[in-house]
């Protein structure tokens, strides 16, 4: 089954054709990052406008690269939640238009389920159940993936998402948006023990995260140094921050895995590209004898292929939409009704 998938939840307009949930026939991404960088973050109104400009050429290119006409695909899939509402609506309405014009099934896909599915594209042998750490710009969750469409949230961030903490800490260090990758690069030549940073815990909720205090500690450190005219070693600070975030994520995930008897661990979302996280988790999993999966680097960030993969399993489960489908800024990843109400 060949699915044409569309993703427009944030600052990437993406489309892909994926066969049977596992084989990428084409994947096209038009990134708006250079424009949003001028403002230090995503400007929602600009994002919506750029999606409207990019969506037709991006979908056309995805079909062309797959060597298919619209008539030859079997279904249309689209990210319907969560994300920037104006951005989501561009993809949702475009997909509805295609479904109406062709009479093909319309498959709504939750963005975070898509991030998880990026692993199905990278690892053909991977199947649920598994325990998944989702770390993106907007979300940080520990999720028990019972089945492709049956998920249970076990832990979550109480404030900032991991990627958000990376980006805000990076900004204070003078790096451009989105700063996660700049911290990753700077950390390669820094000393992770140079700065001692807080490792906040959430009282009474051992599986939850909190990154806002850690982020603020970095920002305060930078401001204090600036005010006193003191030099700060950015590589050391980046390495210390990255090490601390990754240690928190690794410890939480390993604790949940042990409690739940899970021995297959999966990581997903933009921050799954982080080299420090990969290293720390690989070390911990090797020691514990667990299997560990990450998406290939090109599939860690937002893309259409991951939506096309998850769409196949939503289709098999009968999770289809009609033309009343709407976009939603926030919907729980484990919501079986898939609606933001």
Determine the length of the chain: 341
Min. distance of Cβ 245 from ligand KG4 in angstroms? 8
CB 144 within 8 Å of CB 154: yes
Identify what 80 binds: ligand KG4, Zn ion, none; CB under 5 to 8 Å per kind.
none
Q: Does 82 bind ligand KG4 (CB under 6 A)?
A: no
Identify what 7 binds: ligand KG4, Zn ion, none; CB under 5 to 8 Å per kind.
none
Separation between Cα atoms, residue 161 and residue 39, nearest integer Å = 20
Min. distance of Cβ 29 from Zn ion in angstroms? 12
Among 7, 160, 184, 334, binds ligand KG4 (CB under 6 A): 184
For ligand KG4, give the closer residue by CB, 10 or 239: 10
Q: What is the edge-to-edge ordering of all strands in the sheet holding 23-31?
A: 23-31, 12-19, 2-7, 75-81, 106-110
For Zn ion, give the closer residue by CB, 136 or 319: 136
Min. distance of Cβ 247 from ligand KG4 in angstroms? 14
Q: Does 302 bind Zn ion (CB under 5 A)?
A: yes
Q: Does 137 bind ligand KG4 (CB under 6 A)?
A: yes
Identify what 166 binds: Zn ion, ligand KG4, none; CB under 5 to 8 Å per kind.
ligand KG4
Identify what 273 binds: Zn ion, ligand KG4, none; CB under 5 to 8 Å per kind.
ligand KG4
Strand 130-135 with 106-110, pairing: unpaired
User: Tell me, what DSSP letter sits at residue 175?
Assistant: P
Separation between Cα atoms, residue 55 and residue 14, nearest integer Å = 8
Among 91, 108, 178, 304, binds ligand KG4 (CB under 6 A): 178
Q: How far apart are the first and last CA of the chain?
A: 31
Q: Does 21 bind ligand KG4 (CB under 6 A)?
A: no
Q: Does 304 bind ligand KG4 (CB under 6 A)?
A: no
Q: Does 160 bind ligand KG4 (CB under 6 A)?
A: no
Judging by beta carbons within 10 Å of its beta carbon (0-12, 13-18, 19+), is residue 226 exposed, middle or buried?
exposed
For ligand KG4, give the closer residue by CB, 75 or 163: 163
Judging by beta carbons within 10 Å of its beta carbon (0-12, 13-18, 19+), is residue 176 exposed, middle or buried?
middle
Nearest CA to 140 among 155, 120, 118?
A: 155
Which residues partner with 30 through β-bridges? 13
For Zn ion, give the closer residue by CB, 99 or 132: 132
Contacting range for ligand KG4; rule: CB under 6 A; set: 15-23, 58-66, 224-232, 270-278:
270-278
Distances (CA, A) of 323 to 52, 278, 284: 19, 41, 47
Largest distance between two CA atoms of the chain: 66
Q: Which token pair is 284?
A: 């911990």
Among 160, 302, 314, 334, binds ligand KG4 (CB under 6 A): 302
The binding site for ligand KG4 (CB under 6 A) comprises 10, 115, 136-138, 163, 166-167, 178-181, 184, 269-271, 273-274, 301-302
Q: Provide the binding-site residues for Zn ion, judged by CB under 5 A.
A: 136, 302
């Amino acid at each position: 089954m060949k699915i044409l998938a569309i993703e427009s939840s944030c600052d990437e307009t993406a489309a892909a054709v994926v066969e049977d949930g596992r084989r990428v026939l084409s994947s096209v991404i038009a990134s708006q990052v250079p424009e949003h960088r001028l403002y230090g973050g995503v400007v929602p109104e600009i994002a919506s406008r750029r999606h409207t400009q990019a969506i037709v050429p991006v979908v056309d290119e995805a079909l062309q690269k797959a060597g298919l006409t619209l008539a030859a695909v079997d279904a249309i899939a689209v990210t319907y939640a969560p994300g920037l509402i104006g951005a989501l609506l561009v993809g949702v309405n475009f997909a509805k238009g295609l479904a109406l014009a062709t009479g093909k099934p319309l498959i709504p896909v939750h963005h975070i389920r898509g991030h998880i599915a990026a692993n199905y594209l990278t690892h053909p042998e991977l199947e649920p159940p598994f325990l998944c750490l989702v770390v993106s710009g907007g979300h940080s969750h520990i999720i028990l993936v019972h089945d492709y469409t049956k998920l249970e949230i076990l832990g979550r961030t109480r404030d900032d998402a991991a990627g958000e903490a990376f980006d805000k800490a990076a900004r204070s260090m003078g790096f451009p948006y989105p700063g996660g990758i700049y911290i990753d690069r700077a950390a390669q030549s820094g000393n992770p023990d140079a700065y001692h940073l807080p490792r906040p815990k959430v009282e009474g909720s051992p599986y939850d995260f909190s990154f806002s205090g850690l982020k603020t500690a970095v920002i305060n450190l930078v401001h204090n140094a600036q005010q006193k005219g003191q030099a700060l070693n950015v590589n050391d600070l980046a390495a210390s921050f990255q090490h601390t975030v990754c240690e928190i994520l690794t410890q939480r995930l390993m604790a949940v895995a042990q409690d739940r008897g899970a021995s297959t661990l999966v990581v997903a979302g933009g921050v799954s590209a982080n080299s420090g996280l990969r290293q720390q988790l690989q070390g911990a999993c090797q020691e514990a004898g667990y299997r560990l999966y990450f998406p290939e680097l090109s599939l860690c960030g937002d893309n259409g292929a991951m939506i096309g993969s998850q769409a196949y399993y939503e289709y098999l489960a009968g999770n289809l939409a009609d033309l009343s489908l709407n976009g939603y800024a926030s919907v729980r990843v484990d919501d079986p009704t898939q609606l933001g109400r």
